[in-house]
Amino acid sequence: MASISSANLLDMASEEILDILQTPRVLPRLMTVPGIISDGSNDGDSDGTSSICRDRKIVVSNMLPLHAQRDKGTSKWCFSLDKDSLLLQLKDGFSPETEVIYVGCLKADIEPSEQEEVAQRLLDDFKCVPTFLPPDVQKKFYYGFCKQYLWPLFHYMLPMCPDHGDRYDRQLWQAYVSANKLFADKVMEVVNPEDDYIWVHDYHLMVLPTFLRKRYHRVKLGFFLHSPFPSSEIYRTLPVRDEILKGLLNCDLIGFHTFDYARHFLSCCSRMLGLDYESKRGHIGLDYFGRTVYIKILPVGIHMGRLESVLNQPSTFDKVKEIQEQFKGKKVILGVDDMDIFKGISLKLLAFEQLLQQHQDLQGKLVLVQIVNPARSSGKDVQEAKRETYSTAKRINELYGHPSYEPVILIDHPAARYEKTAYYAVAECCIVNAVRDGMNLVPYKYIVCRQGSPGMDEAMGIKAGSPRTSMLVVSEFIGCSPSLSGAIRVNPWDIEAVAEALNVAITMSDSEKQLRHEKHYRYVSSHDVAYWARSFMQDLERACKDHYSKRCWGIGLGLGFRVISLSPSFRKLSNDHIVSSYKRTNRRAIFLDYDGTIVPQSSIVKSPSAEVIHFLNALSNDPKNTVFIVSGRGRSSLCEWLEPCERLGLAAEHGYFIRWNKSSDWECMTADTEWKQIVEPVMKQYTDATDGSSIETKESALVWHHQDADPDFGSCQAKELLDHLENVLANEPAVVKRGQQIVEVKPQGVTKGLAAEKVLLMMVNGGRPPDFVMCIGDDRSDEDMFEGIIKMVSGLSISTAPEMFACTVGRKPSRARYYLDDTADVVRLLQGLATASNPKPRQIAEFQVAFDTVI
């Protein structure tokens, strides 16, 4: 119920509240070529010719890559580029001809009377488009929903009590949606949707893609999450979980730092939205209403040039000499962290204390320098972390220190870049002990600084060309850990293990340190921020290349909006169109699937309704029709459920058994089924190991069902079972197929397609070649039927080709040319055909009225 309420909230926010919360003016469209200005008047499904323009990327984030301060003398605002901003650095991954536009907020409060002038200046001088959020919305959006709810939750901290994050508040969520809508308005002012690529960054803007996709159905849209994505057990506690997932799925490409984060996202999509993913030639893709949403796994890198320039500054050389003199005769372990509860600073100090306690020979010879960056948010948890850090450091210094030796050095003032760089260069070991962190680039920076430069070598007194060494101790819960194979990975909660890791790091032989350093430096230097940006954008371009080869239209309200993207020839089957064709033909073949076609897949009652029975009778009693139910169900079930239909043909177990009408005998394919003795024990083994799974025994086949099992585990077991059975049945006359939450083993040569071909061939040989063929089904096995019928009909040597209506249930990629939305649509269609049949069975009219009332 919570999700439904939240979806209604979006409608209110986007239609009422957001009409008020508009930014003060609409910026002019960016002129991409002199004299050509895009007015943005195309609708969401426009195929209009795009304006001539240079390659453009629009980068959207919560904050612009700018510094802002007011000049004390003139009281005017002064702006400068933030050269340390990742958003600015990623431009190196694009060609020099690429124009990059930034959309985001400023790190300063601009008065409403100044906003228009500031916006124009930023656009002209920096190609930045500022989003000015009303103060109340900004507070609730950023400091409320983002920092006090989303950020802790994505770092695995549930709001179990008021001291640990704020609990869900609809007003905060409303502000989040409102802010995302305002960001979308700004993007729409500058985007040329046919040509520009939009790259959205981080958890602040996870529903922004929905607003953009709703406005421009073919927008080229990527998203990168810089924080962890939590496991489904944590994420599903979020009351607006579906809305956020659907927001991200409105992108073309979604990027994560690690496979773990991507796996958690995919698991949430599977568990909460019923979406499956597959890997295609190394690329992970989710099919979402005909669109393929690709998943990118690539950790961000550092800007080598920026770091090396600081490394070669005279101020850095001077600081290095000062640090060497200060810690002469001692080894330095370095930590650089923000002050927050997830960075594990206090755990690091406890491990260092344990190290000094267990190895007394290190006392007086080892120093931990902890640089503490200012906290990015405030709250009780930050203050508690700060108090614990200082008290622990004080205790260690009192226990193990003396006038000429201080074991723990806390640097809590804002440290300049050259100062941090100097410490990186001097430290024997760097430790990152975070209990949870999205990426963390500290280890990368440390490695580059330890590589040094000619100027740094001279300052440190190192011989030019001498081997370089570095040692890293990293938490296994940070994003950079998987890419640093030479680091010592630790569980930050295991104090003794971290202490031992530190001891191993500082006592390791120089030759091994050198090998580890060389391996890390090769990776870090080749996988820099430019590589990351270039790789992401290449994948985004590949993900968007088929945008204009498909028809697109939007469905859904509020945050449930999504775009259907299908083949141009794929369209909804019109009742009027097929009834017209039906009336003018005389030799009709009709094939219908059972589950998911004439009976809802989710229905507990599997027998057809009285209305469906009468419509089937109306069709099968017409002498011009040959009507078949083609199903994977067993013949006993179909006989029971369809017992009132005297002239209806049945093809059970995918056509292994065929009966032309109720009075005829069942025809059975000749097939060897001795392989069942091999398959059944294997399936039983997986059933015993998979709670919620079951085996269905058919006369010709065995089916393993896992729809009631845990979605992830059931899917995993199905893949294993598929591989297992394919191996043991390699020399048997049987095929193994995976369907919708099933794994089925059946005889070779048994498909719905072959069953339908047999019926059509019988009609042709009987002198009644069909002039009308209709086939409706909903799952993978029905695709065989579509393909078989189309192939069979196209190969018939008759003067006039029959009218073909291959139709799938649900809007999804299919071999069929037509679709119907659901079983209700199918029954409406059958009603129309039954009404047009001749002669009509008695009582059809009264059932028609009753069905119209129900529908």
In 573-700, at which residue ranges do the beta strands (DSSP E only) sit?
588-592, 625-630, 649-652, 657-659, 667-668, 694-697
Give the C-alpha separation, 649 to 645, whole Å.
Answer: 9
Low-confidence residues in the chain, pLDDT < 50: 1-52, 841-855
Phi and psi at 321, nearest 5°, equal: -60, -40
* Separation of alpha carbons 335 and 333, rounded Å: 7
Grouping H, G, I as helix, E, B as strand and the rest as coil, residue 715 is helix
CB 524 within 8 A of CB 486: no
Pick from 489, 460, 548: nearest CA to 195: 548
Q: Classify residue 792 as exposed, middle or buried by CB count within 10 Å of its CB (0-12, 13-18, 19+).
A: buried
User: What token pair was written down for 203?
Assistant: 């958890």
Cα–Cα–Cα angle for 829, 832, 837, rounded to 5 degrees: 125
Tell me if the pTM is above 0.75: yes
pLDDT at 839: 59
Sequence length of the chain is 855
Q: What CA–CA distances, in Å, run from 234 to 43, 394, 477?
A: 39, 36, 16
Instruction: Say which amino acid occupies 234.
Output: I
Q: Where would I find the H helices in 691-822?
A: 711-728, 752-765, 780-794
- C-alpha separations of 131 from 2, 64, 108, 179, 184 in Å: 30, 9, 12, 9, 10
In degrees, rounded to 5, the angle at the alpha carbon of residue 620 between the alpha carbons of residues 614 and 623 is 135
Per-residue confidence (pLDDT) for residue 162, from 0 to 100? 63
Residue recorded with tokens 């530190």: 502
Q: How far apart are CA 148 and CA 665, in angstroms?
A: 70
Residue 479 · residue 439 · CB < 8 Å: yes
User: What pLDDT does 28 receive?
Assistant: 46
- DSSP-assigned states of every residue in 21-87: S--SSPPPPPEEETTEE------TT--PPPPP---EEEEEEEE-SEEEEE-TTT--EEEEE-TT-HH
Q: Are the beta carbons of 613 and 797 closer than 8 angstroms? A: no
**Using CB atoms within 10 A of its CB, is residue 396 exposed (0-12), middle (13-18) or buried (19+)?**
buried
Q: Tell me the helix, strand and coil percentages in the chain, rounded to 5.
A: 45, 20, 35
Nearest-angstrom CA–CA distance, 102 and 122: 10
Residue whose C-alpha is closest to residue 537's, from 224, 303, 190, 204: 224
Contact (Cβ atoms closer than 8 angstroms) between residue 253 and residue 296: yes
Other CB atoms closer than 10 Å to residue 628's CB: what's the count? 24
> Which helix or strand (DSSP H or E) is residue 686 part of?
helix 676-689
553-562 residues labelled b (16+ CB within 10 A) or e (exposed): eeeeebbbbb
Task: Give the C-alpha separation, 745 to 737, whole Å.
Answer: 6
d(CA 375, CA 383): 10
Residue 824 — φ and ψ, nearest 5°?
-60, -40
User: Is cis: bond before 228, omega within 30 of 0?
Assistant: no
